[in-house]
Amino acid sequence: MAFDLLGSGNADLIALRSGERTITRGELRSASRRAAYFLRDLGISRGDIVAVWLPDGGVWLQLFLAIAQLGALMVPVSAQFKLHDALRVVKAAKARVLVVPQQFLDFDYVAAAAEIKAACVTVQHIVEVPQSDAFEWNAVRQYPRWEGLDTDLLCAFDTSGTTGTSRLAVHTAGGIAKHARNVGRCNDMRQADVVCCALPLCSALGFVQAVAALASGAACVLMPTFNAAAAAALIERHRVTHFFGTDAMMDGVLNTEDFSLATWCRGAFPEHGNLGQRVIAQGWKIWKSRLTALYAMSECLGVVAMQEPNADAQQRGMPGGVPISSAIAFRIVDPESGAMSRDGQRGELQLRGYNVMAGYLHDPKATSAALTADGWFRTGDLACAEHGTFRYLARMEDALRVGGNRVDPSEIEAFLEQHPGVDAAQVVGVPVDSEGEVVVAFVRKSNKPATERELIAYCRQAIAGPEVPRHIVSVDSFPQKDGPNGVKILKRALRDRALQYVSRTQTSSAESSLPLEAS
């Protein structure tokens, strides 16, 4: 049984800390078998789909292991979702069972589940869970057989729009088990370690760090909702050794002053807030924590590649890195010609390996479009490679085509952020008649603000002419969205805003150049 993440021994080792509860590996194994019997009584068997709309806790993992035992498919639904988004996921999944908490975050999940059941013809059962951190179905006997196979479709993650349209990326039991062991090995997780699982289990990145901990014999400290001070307190209290989150999450934890983070030795993050270098420097200077950037994607089971923990600080902060297993391959392809790119050339990152999804659930057309004729997954990400490692640059849709050249907006953003008048920057491109794409930058001013003219002059000193922003617009904040892996800047909203700004500017310029009418 290759999937058994808990192993047959070490039953007394701690598997989970959920709220005030401490749960051993033996207790989790027994509880999952009771949940398997409960689900089997509902008629769930191989291939059936169970949607789990629960906060992180013991019941979440109890159900996941139970579903694996039956060979069924789990579709996690973010506990942060309200009715509209939850209905979208459950309906797309065609779930037979929907599991919800009786109470969490002052939202009536039970009433919402009733509406979902009325709107989804496939949903036959609503299962209510009184407490998410404690195990359920304690009076039910254990299901005696392990019916799951490595080839079974086991878990499907909502992609949250990483490919333009939200879909459910499905992964097999065998792929999950292998990836859990490889992620644990790559991050040097061991039996005595403790992993702070602050990212939600419904996200591929949050999920894989938890199953990697279980596969490595480490303990998981679960957080149903993230709070930086609470996470810092957990790190001190439980002597956490590993912590994965976004750069913004880590920045918040590192800037709490009331707790010791001395046991935190390893961590990795996807960079969403341009805080990577600051986080790496602060973590090492104060606590000697070796933090690294990573590349993650739901379609590829969360963690795909990481920077080497012993590399210098600048290298460790670059999104991308080396694949976490030799069984994961990457290539960079010119998006127009399809030709392989040489080292240093930019192109689309494509991936192949056991961790690539089996497909998008119930969507063969989208699955086919996501794969090349020779079986590589199209990430839609702009990247470049050098000496067996790659660097993520931007989403292909966010990359700019300026003066015939493909431009990485993050390079312009990083340059602008070096100016003392800029706290943060976001760069987009908009089409202009007869010119092609022009660059527009949005900046949050620092406490020493600079004018648009000063910032454009600053760019002209070091950036190639076509890459200098045509306009630099000051904003109080960037449009953003809370996703399963943290806050993301909405580049599409910024492009729409930039297009309106450029249009207004052109109109004003044209009107000011009209000849005066005779009085």
What is the pLDDT tens value at each position of the chain, 519 positions in all? 457 788 767 899 999 998 888 999 999 999 999 999 999 999 999 999 999 999 999 999 999 999 999 999 999 999 988 998 899 999 999 999 999 999 998 999 999 999 999 999 999 999 999 999 989 999 999 999 999 999 999 999 998 654 445 699 999 999 999 999 999 999 999 998 999 999 999 999 999 999 999 999 999 999 989 999 999 999 999 999 999 998 989 999 999 989 999 999 999 999 877 788 999 999 999 999 999 999 999 999 999 999 999 999 999 999 999 999 999 999 999 987 889 998 989 899 999 999 999 999 999 999 999 999 999 999 999 899 988 999 998 888 777 777 656 677 887 888 899 999 999 999 998 887 766 788 999 999 888 889 999 999 999 887 877 788 999 999 999 998 766 556 678 888 898 899 888 888 766 655 554 444 433
Which residues make Cβ contacts (< 8 Å) with residue 286, sequence separation at least 6? Answer: 254, 261
Helix pair angle (247-254, 276-287), 10° resolution? 40
Beta-carbon contacts of 499 under 8 Å, excluding residues fewer than 6 positions away, are 430
Residues in the chain: 519
Task: Report how far residue 515's alpha carbon sits from residue 266's, in angstroms, rounded to the nearest whole number.
Answer: 67
What is the pLDDT at residue 516? 42
In which residue are the tokens 């065998």 written? 174
Q: Which residue carries 């670059």 as its tokens? A: 318
For the chain, the structural domain boundaries read 14-390, 400-506
**pLDDT confidence of residue 168:** 97
∠ Cα 323 327 333 (to 5°) = 60
Question: Which CATH number does the domain 14-390 belong to among 3.20.20.70, 3.40.50.12780, 3.40.50.410, 3.40.630.90?
Answer: 3.40.50.12780
Return the amino acid letter for 229: A
Give the pLDDT of residue 406.
66
**Checking DSSP bridges between strand 359-360 and strand 405-407, what pairing results, if any?**
unpaired
- Spatial separation of the C-alpha atoms in residues 459 and 376, rounded to whole Å: 39
Residue from 86, 77, 73, 83 nearest 52 by CA? 77
Tokens linked to 207: 């999920």
SS in 3 state form for 150-187? CCCEEEEEECCCCCCCCCEEEEEHHHHHHHHHHHHHHC
Q: Is the dihedral of CA 190, 315, 469, 382 positive or negative?
A: negative
- For residues 313-345, b (16+ Cβ closer than 10 Å) or e, as one string? bebbbbbbbbbbbeebebbbbebeeeeebeeee
CA distance 61 to 5: 11
Query: In the beta sheet, which residues pair with residue 25?
Result: none
Percentages helix, strand, coil for the chain (3-state, rounded to 5) are 30, 30, 40
Task: Give dist(CA 251, CA 269) in Å, integer.
Answer: 11
Which region holds residue 137: left if phi is over 0, alpha if psi is between -120 and 50, else beta?
left
Written as one string, the DSSP assignment of 477-507 is: S--EEEETTEEEE-HHHHHHHHHHHHHHHHH
φ/ψ region of 150 (left if φ > 0, alpha if ψ in -120 to 50, else beta) reads alpha
Beta strands in 354-463 (DSSP E): 359-360, 377-386, 389-395, 400-402, 405-407, 422-432, 436-445
Task: Specify the pLDDT at position 510.
Answer: 52
d(CA 272, CA 410): 11
Tokens of 285: 């200077």
35's CB contacts (< 8 A; 6+ apart) are 62, 63, 65, 66, 136, 137, 140
Alpha-carbon distance of 209 to 303, in angstroms, equals 8
Write the CA distances from 477 to 227, 415, 442, 469, 474, integer angstroms. 21, 19, 9, 19, 9
Q: Which CATH class is domain 400-506?
A: alpha beta
3-class SS of residue 327: coil
486: nearest Cα among 204, 262, 63, 190: 204
